[in-house]
Amino acid sequence: MGASFLIALGAPLSASEGKMKQTYPDTLSAYLLEKANRFQLYPRRVYGEGSEISRAALDLIRRSLVEWRKTFAPQVGNETSDFLTNPISLDEQYCRDLLSKIPEIVERTLKLSSFILKDIADSDVVQLREAANCFIFGLPLAAIALARAAVEAALRRKLGQTVDKKIVAEAELSRLINLYGPACLTKEARNLSNKVRIAANNVLHETGVSSATALETIESARKVILELSKSTAKPASKAPNTPLQPTAEKRGG
């Protein structure tokens, strides 16, 4: 589809429409957010500076009520809270919240533009795609956890071709990477696998994970899965019962 065709799609539909001049925000999300901000308790419209302050205060209250529900221990309901959390009211709240987050969603999507999974079956990268979706929508903890799950699933599938399936199914990920990994992964890929594993372990112990860390973890997982898809599993060079040497890591798994 050529650029000229896409530009033509945005042309005025008529000569009279072309004569009408109107200034729009740079993006559709900004335009729609501007329209959404004109409502307070939809479909009730609000006007003036004071209305903007009251709407913002109302949004804050609704967000608090939603957060209480996320803790699975909401406050005892009353007429006000029930009204502010009815479907229409919550729809209005989520519309504004999501529209305001679209610029960040677009930015994170563009950061994934260079990530390619060529010639790999969709069934092999389902979890990695879900990790990318979580990253895009601002859920770095979930993105990292799914990136680890993707690496683990791919590694178990590959090793299951040459190593006893019971051993592969029961072994911890660190053992699979460090003991059996040389059969199908280069040293660099094993380092990346451990990087993904440790990042996911940290998620279980730390509350703050940056979007940059999630992006780096997804990219590491992608490289590992690409290598696994192209490699041929060789028989493990060590006996299945060979113990791993203890490491300096505080968190295993």
Q: Can you give the CATH number for the domain in which 216 is found? A: 1.20.120
Tell me, what's the pLDDT at 158? 93
Q: What share of the chain is helix, strand, coil (3-state, %, to 5)?
A: 65, 0, 35
pLDDT digits (tens, 9 = 90+) for 64-77: 888 777 777 666 66
Residue 220 lies in a domain: yes
Res. 146: pLDDT tops 90: yes
Same domain, 41 and 70: yes
Same domain, 216 and 138: yes
Tell me, what's the pLDDT at 102? 97
Same domain, 35 and 82: yes
Which domain range does residue 226 map to? 122-230
Tell me how far apart the alpha carbons of residues 2 and 4 are, in angstroms, rounded to a whole number.
Answer: 5
Residue 199 lies in a domain: yes
Tell me, what's the pLDDT at 33? 94
Average pLDDT over residues 103-118: 89
Residue 17 lies in a domain: no
Instruction: Kindly list the distances between the CA atom of residue 47 and the CA atoms of 39, 60, 231, in Å, as whole numbers in the listed order.
Output: 9, 19, 64
Same domain, 64 and 147: no
CA–CA–CA angle 129, 149, 124 (5° rounding): 50
Tell me how far apart the alpha carbons of residues 10 and 183 are, in angstroms, rounded to a whole number.
Answer: 55
Tell me, what's the pLDDT at 115? 80
Give phi and psi for 241, each to the nearest 5: -95, 5
Residue 3 lies in a domain: no
CA–CA–CA angle 84, 90, 96 (5° rounding): 120
Same domain, 143 and 205: yes
Query: Which segment of 5-14, 187-196, 200-209 scores lowest on mean pLDDT?
Result: 5-14
The answer to whether 45 and 38 are in contact (CB under 8 A) is yes
Same domain, 133 and 88: no
Tell me, what's the pLDDT at 197? 96
Query: Which segment of 3-17, 22-36, 171-185 scores lowest on mean pLDDT?
Result: 3-17
Same domain, 51 and 128: no
SS3 state at 248: coil
Task: Count CA atoms within 13 Å of residue 55 on its CB side.
Answer: 20
What DSSP string runs through 122-183?
GGGSHHHHHHHHHHHTT-HHHHHHHHHHHHHHHHHHHHTTTS-HHHHHHS-HHHIIIIIGGG
Tell me, what's the pLDDT at 75? 62
Percent over 90 (pLDDT), the chain: 49
Q: How many domains are contained in the chain?
A: 2
Instruction: Kindly list the distances between the CA atom of residue 119 and the CA atoms of 124, 125, 227, 228, in Å, as whole numbers in the listed order.
Output: 11, 11, 12, 12
Residue 128 lies in a domain: yes
Task: Count CA atoms within 13 Å of residue 13 on its CB side.
Answer: 0
The answer to whether 250 and 201 are in contact (CB under 8 A) is no
Residue 16 lies in a domain: no
Same domain, 139 and 211: yes
Tell me, what's the pLDDT at 61? 84
Residue 18 lies in a domain: no
Tell me how far apart the alpha carbons of residues 105 and 108 are, in angstroms, rounded to a whole number.
Answer: 5
Tell me how far apart the alpha carbons of residues 151 and 166 are, in angstroms, rounded to a whole number.
Answer: 19
Residue 173 lies in a domain: yes
Instruction: Kindly list the distances between the CA atom of residue 38 and the CA atoms of 28, 29, 64, 142, in Å, as whole numbers in the listed order.
Output: 16, 15, 21, 34
Same domain, 140 and 85: no
Q: For residue 208, what is the DSSP state?
A: -
Q: Name the range with the highest mean pLDDT among 76-85, 87-96, 172-181.
A: 172-181
Res. 240: pLDDT tops 60: no
pLDDT digits (tens, 9 = 90+) for 147-164: 999 999 999 999 999 889
The answer to whether 185 and 227 are in contact (CB under 8 A) is yes
Query: Which segment of 49-58, 153-162, 200-209 scores lowest on mean pLDDT?
Result: 49-58
